[in-house]
Amino acid sequence: MMKRVGLALCGVALGLAGLSQAHAVLKVDIDKGSTGALPIAVVPFGGSSQASPSSQSMDEVISADLARSGYFSPIPKGNFIAWPSEGAQIRCNDWKLLGAENVVVGGVRSIGGVNEVRYELFNVLRCVQVEGQRFLVEPNKMRRLAHQISDQIYKALTGKEGAFSTRIAYVTATRERGAKPRYLT
């Protein structure tokens, strides 16, 4: 009997020794984001003083969307040496000095209760316009438009659909007994 107890204790001790060694084998350090992110400059959109105050932050929404994708690294606005609001004002060599590969410029102006928003995306390495559009939008929908512009920029540069203007719904499969089902459209 003592022999069995001794063998069992020996087995437990060896097992515990093996566990302590196995515990120390794996160590993962994550201390940096994507290293291959494309540098992009999103210049604050120019515009009339009558345009919606939210037009001031369109560039911030676009920059944040692109940064969150992990594919882009927006250049800090404090580093800008020029503040163009349209493509004709872009001096590609200035942006190359900052390390930008692409530049987004745009503008907002108020037209009879709606805002006209335009943006242009330039590849400064080749000094060509890649994308550009104009929109008419109600002032209270400026933020949503900024997300849609982010989607278009993302698609133009990656070839993949963006997901910045999507909406998420939480759906549960349970319902109260006798309740009618609800459908989302």
The answer to whether 89 touches 82, Cβ cutoff 8 Å, is yes
* CA distance linking residue 148 with residue 145, whole number of Å: 5
Judged against a pLDDT cut of 90, whether residue 62 lies above it is answered with yes
Alpha carbon of 37 to those of 7, 92, 107: distances in Å? Answer: 58, 20, 26
Alpha carbon of 103 to those of 70, 167, 170: distances in Å? Answer: 17, 27, 36
Judged against a pLDDT cut of 60, whether residue 54 lies above it is answered with no
The structural domains of the chain, ordered by start, are: 38-127+144-158 (3.40.50.10070)
Section 14-38 average pLDDT: 58
User: What pLDDT score does 29 carry?
Assistant: 53
Q: 3-class SS at 19?
A: helix
* CA distance linking residue 138 with residue 34, whole number of Å: 36
User: What pLDDT score does 1 carry?
Assistant: 58
Section 71-77 average pLDDT: 95
* CA distance linking residue 23 with residue 165, whole number of Å: 44
Alpha carbon of 68 to those of 42, 78, 115: distances in Å? Answer: 14, 20, 27
User: What pLDDT score does 166 carry?
Assistant: 74
User: What pLDDT score does 55 carry?
Assistant: 44
User: What pLDDT score does 114 carry?
Assistant: 94
Per residue in 151-161, pLDDT (tens digit) is 999 999 999 88
Judged against a pLDDT cut of 90, whether residue 42 lies above it is answered with yes
Judged against a pLDDT cut of 90, whether residue 50 lies above it is answered with no
Section 169-185 average pLDDT: 67
Per residue in 87-96, pLDDT (tens digit) is 899 999 999 9
Hey, what are 113's tokens?
């209760």
